[in-house]
Amino acid sequence: QVQLVESGGGVVQPGRSLRLSCAASGFTFSNYGMHWVRQAPGKGLEWVAVISYDGSDKYYADSVKGRFTISRDISKSTLYLQMNSLRAEDTAIYFCAKDHYGDHSAPIDLWGQGTLVTVSS
């Protein structure tokens, strides 16, 4: 069925790195832009990054620019988020998400279940 499954979350010390993965299935991965959106405990949604359907365009929230890198492997139908220089304020559930019609302004119509990243010493 159509789904997104995140993995790679866990507890990491400040300043260290972590890579999240998101396995897509049930749709043509190469046709859609993909996002990472995070949610700190008890807080609202915060957009993190988006990558275009072909990987040529990438945009980042100011809070993660220069530290996080979004990428995709179309052959594996997998989305990634490389997170470096992690900070306590990066602690959140990270959702992988698919856009509705392949444009930066397109809404998200499919979300993963999320993976928890905790940055703590």
Partner 1 sequence: SYVLTQPPSVSVAPGQTARITCGGNNIGSQSVHWYQQKPGQAPVLVVYDDSVRPSGIPERFSGSTSGNTATLTISRVEAGDEADYFCQVWDASSDHWVFGGGTKLTVL
Q: Which is nearer to partner 1, 78 or 115 (CB)?
A: 115
- Count of C-beta atoms within a 10 Å radius of residue 77: 17
Which residues lie closer than 8 Å to 56 by C-beta, 6 or more apart?
Answer: none
Query: How far is residue 49's CA from residue 72's CA, in Å, rounded to a whole number?
Result: 12
Q: How far is the CB of 79 from partner 1 (least distance, A)?
A: 15
Q: Which is nearer to partner 1, 79 or 108 (CB)?
A: 108
Q: How far is the CB of 13 from partner 1 (least distance, A)?
A: 27
Q: Which tokens sit at 29? A: 């991965």
Task: Indicate the SS3 state at residue 47.
Answer: strand
Read off the amino acid at residue 96.
C
Q: Which is nearer to partner 1, 73 or 109 (CB)?
A: 109
Q: How far is the CB of 90 from partner 1 (least distance, A)?
A: 17
Read off the amino acid at residue 50.
V
Residue where the block lists tokens 């959106």: 37
Query: Interface residues with partner 1 (CB under 8 A)?
Result: 35, 44-47, 50, 59, 61-62, 95, 100, 104-105, 107-109, 111-114
Q: How far is the CB of 111 from partner 1 (least distance, A)?
A: 4
Q: Which is nearer to partner 1, 27 or 111 (CB)?
A: 111
Query: How far is residue 88's CA from residue 117's CA, in Å, rounded to a whole number?
Result: 10
